Structure 1
Amino acid sequence: MKYMIKFSALLFLSLTIVSLTSWAQTNDFTIKMKGGIPNEQALQVKYYNSADWEPFYANIESFYYDPNYSYELRVRRTKLTNVEPNKSNYRYSLVKVVQKSLMKGEQLTMEINDKRVDCQGAGQMKCLMVKFNPNDKWEYFYDHIKGLEYEEGYTYKIIVNRTKLENPPQDASVYRYDLVKVVSKSASKSKLSLPTAAVFLSKFKWKLISLNGKEVSKYHAFLLFDAENGRISGNSSCNNFFGPFLISSNKISFPNLGTTMRACMGQNIEADLYQVLENKDLHYDIAEQTLNLYIKNKHVAIFGLSEK
């Protein structure tokens, strides 16, 4: 009997030691996790007794972080044995998502033009051209819209959710854009075939000689036509501009022009040139080596032919 009591006591002590050892090797805890953190940065968390946010560098198995949400998680931490040098001593795995809350953002309506254009960000890149209001000029859009499968040759009207990020990377946008809905997707008019005149215009560079009856060649403004894609590019005497063009009979139009945003120092003719190009009653003719533009039969611009 005495030996049985001793054996039972030893068994209880062994089980207690195993239990305590197991508890020491694995424990569960709850953390709050901040939303809006870019993928390349450490997640920001608060423990149950934390006053401030602090970085969390480890991977949590079975957990996918979406920056649009903030979280409260139940996490299991397991101590590892035979850990490689410079590796974590613990493995973290998700036990339960206690709470997942959509971060507050704002919904915006955007129009997107039919082609990406060259732009200068951290380096040379291709940008979308967008408007946030129908009466705005087209502007460069340097960011990514998550969920949008953009196809050139189509104009879009979409609704996005814009969320401001905390501590974004240097030289990166402070916003994240997520597609909510594609309102419309329309084939661009520039996809339609253009007449022979457009093919001829595309062969040359057209330097602005006269504008509203004044000699302006010193400003070095010009037009380039691309008949294959139905687009123009050029310089206004300060900024570069670009967009589609349409020709029908003796009418020509340049809808949805976009421009660079350089500050124009000194004398220039930019505003007067844009006023002519954006007029909805613009007519043209080609006479020998000049391209002539008219508004209601008034001669408003002369471009001279030159080699590209």
Structure 2
Amino acid sequence: MLKLLQNEWMKLWSKKGTWVMAGLVVLLVIGMVGLVKWTETLTADDGTPDWRTAAQAELTQDKSSLDADLLKGESKRMTEERVMMNEYRLANDIPPIGDISREGMIYDPSVGSIALLLTVIVAAGIVASEFSQGTIKMLLTRPVKRWKILTSKYAAVLLFGVLLMMIGFATTILCAFIFFPAGGGQALAVSGGKVVEVSVWSHGLYVLLLSFGNVVITASFAFMIGSVFRSSGMAIGLSLFIYFTGNIVVSLLSRFEIVKYLLFTHMDLTIYESNFRLHDDITLPFSLAVLAVYWVIFLIISYGVFTKRDITA
């Protein structure tokens, strides 16, 4: 199995397009950080209230909501934690992480979106290209079990996604240190009923890990479509369709109970770093469980079709 994976990995990187994708990640990240820096120059003196005023206003509003007993479940828990953190900030004069800052750049999940789009291209074509190039018969007549061949291809896709994420993250850190000064704020969290200060590096890696969840699910979907229908174009098109229209579908169905079980609702796990929740009973473990079910379904279909396919077709 390891040798199969190594061969698949070497085959993947022997293609010129793979190197182009890696370079494209670097260029897109540099462009993104450069755009943020340019935006900073435009909004430097826009009259935005300082963080203390904003924190105090949010604190007052949250306390009013809690006193009025308007919140339940997850919304109440989040509001209580936000109250604790804002009180801690104001008492200790600790500003929050600014979006346009060195720390804010390290926390930015945009790297995940860039890696996702490029990983989908590889996932869609890694099996479909064997059919389009006419090499599938030679591949499947080798004395190796088909599930091992497919596993090596799928593992190569995931490793490629991981590599793109790490390249993008490293580029983001480098650009953040070049373009932005230190001291952009401090992230806080509530642990064991107490407010604790969070390391910028551990939190940045945590956000990166949450972003990778979307990469895995969307790439797995593209891998399934490419394996079943033998068309990389269809796989890329459908994968990008669900990626870009997912939020619209969720918004349209937000009033219905079924939205909790839709794939689109849980694809972006970085939402758990924000203050927004679609439903009080949707938590990170629940989202991971739903995604795991869809992931298993995608793989069952991929393996089921690939292992039973007639190679003369």
Would you say same fold, with TM above 0.5?
no
Q: TM-score, normalised by structure 2?
A: 0.18
Q: Which has the higher helix share?
A: 2
TM-score by length of 1: 0.18
Larger Cα-atom Rg:
1
